[in-house]
A and B are shown apart, each in its own frame.
Chain A
């Protein structure tokens, strides 16, 4: 564990207005998914992933035909060691959200992390994800990010 915060002075943005849309009820709506994850709290700071611009509406792309979802997020700094924790938070939050046959890939946005390939590989190795979530300390951290409210 690092001693100091990775990024002690993050840039915080205002929350974007929520716009309701009417969509095809059978399709998976990327904006609905975004709505579901935008308030996940950052592991290090008392702000949401949206407020820190880690996630935005453009983060989520859906291919309904193939049943594939891609989420890209932007860590606040290039050497963010919390990237894997953010990835885990997204997986846990979305675990039962989609019909079972949907596949979810989570990546850092291109160019946003010094070890992009290595982080992406870890985030998408489901055996590593499963083992990490059985680690009680990591599990607790993830739950704090997911269930802390009153932002």
Chain B
């Protein structure tokens, strides 16, 4: 029977853990898996797995930089830089210099709390979003310099998360205004525009959308919401770079009745399983429903882990390594590492 087995429970943060991100350059070729977590305690912790004992330990605490909650963290694709977004309205960029993490740059500009930060696939662009309703795009320049190339207005409320498409330079954002917006560079000269808005008329969410995740192929995405549902969306063209311009996204299906409290996080693994974490303290895993009789693929529950934590789960993330390892972060101040056993 498929099982989500708890490998370890990590303590250390002294307030709720909001988010975590796996270092994509770890977990293969003898490099131990590493992930970063961020918290209401204003710090970021770096966790590493010991290759022989297979146990996790905290390798570094990044503190005395952010002056308020650190809400989100994201490693660059090369794994060399870590971006951290804070309620103090700044985004800090950290570099591992000889074993110590140093803050090498601070991005300012948002008027209030920064909620999310994300690097594009090539590591040349960074996106941030805030309660100030805007989404900012920054260009990564040599010498750890960052230049804001666009300030995107369009959301009517607090923007909760930004996520770049896995292969294209197309940016997605989701918000307290219940919509998911899609942004693309139209004229190829930093002329970023909103090319699509997915709201109620498009079978969209009816309350705050908290997270977005793409499948490995980039032709599907899943979103989760305060409306207690998960929605799967697809895009018409398989290869968006085929020269036909932007291909719109459309609603594929809605998963309802699985969580009875706000769903804060969803993450799609390379193997096609998406995990959701919610305020009902549970984690659920979903897969393609191959036996579905209706048009197109739908999704079914693979397993549920109730009481995964003692309190709300804020983030679930699949690791980049070979094994199906999942990490979860909670209001209870802990992080748990799980392994999916078939």
By the criterion CB–CB under 8 Å, are A121 and B87 in contact? no
List the 8 shortest-distance A-B pairs measured between CB atoms, nearest first: A100-B310, A131-B113, A134-B68, A131-B87, A100-B311, A101-B310, A134-B87, A100-B332
Q: A79 at interface (Cβ–Cβ under 8 A)?
A: no
Q: Spot the interface stretch: A10-18, A30-38, A122-130.
A: A122-130
Query: Which A residue sits closest to B42, measured CB to CB?
Result: A134
> With a CB–CB cut-off of 8 A, which chain B residues contact A103?
261, 279
17 of the cross-chain contacts (CB-CB < 8 Å) are A100-B332, A101-B307, A101-B310, A125-B226, A126-B279, A127-B115, A128-B131, A128-B176, A130-B40, A130-B69, A131-B69, A131-B87, A131-B112, A131-B113, A131-B131, A134-B68, A134-B69
A interface with B by C-beta (< 8 Å): 100-101, 103, 121, 125-128, 130-131, 134
The interface residues of chain A, by DSSP majority, are classed as helix
B234 adjacent to chain A (CB < 8 Å): no
A126 to B311, CA, bound (A): 13
Q: How far is the CA of A131 from the CA of B113 in the complex (A)?
A: 8
Rounded to whole angstroms, the CA-CA distance of A71 and B258 in the bound complex is 25
A121 touching B279 by the CB < 8 A rule? Answer: no
A119 to B34, CA, bound (A): 41
Knowing A101-B311, A134-B68, the reply to whether A128 touches B40 (Cβ < 8 A) is no
Closest chain A residue, CB of each to CB of B67: A134
In the assembled complex, the Cα of A98 lies from the Cα of B312 at a distance in Å of: 14
Chain A positions within 8 Å of B112 at CB level: 131
The verdict on A121 contacting B311 (CB below 8 Å), with A103-B261, A134-B87 known, is no
Whether B69 pairs with A125 at a CB distance below 8 angstroms is no
Interface members, chain B 257-282 (any A CB < 8 Å): 261, 279, 281
B79-130 contacts to A, CB under 8 A, are 87, 112-113, 115
Most chain B beta carbons < 10 A, residue from A101, A103, A126, A127: A127
Flag whether B208 is at the interface (Cβ < 8 A): yes
Which residue in chain B gives the minimum CB-CB distance to A105? B261
Contacts of B307 in A (CB 8 A): 101
What residues of chain B lie closer than 8 Å to A100, measured between beta carbons? 310-311, 332
Q: Smallest CB–CB gap between A109 and chain B, Å?
A: 21
Contact flags B195-231 to A (C-beta < 8 A → 1, else 0): 0000000000001100000000000000000100000
A126 touches B312 (CB 8 A): yes
Which residues of A lie under 8 Å from residue B279 when comparing CB positions? 103, 126
Bound complex: CA A103 to CA B260 (Å): 11
B270 to chain A, nearest CB (A): 29
- The smallest C-beta distance from B19 to any residue of chain A, in angstroms, reads 11
Please measure, in the bound complex, the distance between the C-alpha atom of A55 and the C-alpha atom of B342, giving whole angstroms.
52
Residues of chain A within 8 A of B208, CB atoms compared: 121, 125
B158 at the interface (CB under 8 A from A): yes
Give the residue name and chain of the A residue nearest to B40 (CB). Answer: A130
CB distance from A132 to the nearest CB of B (A): 10
Shortest B278–chain A CB gap in Å is 11
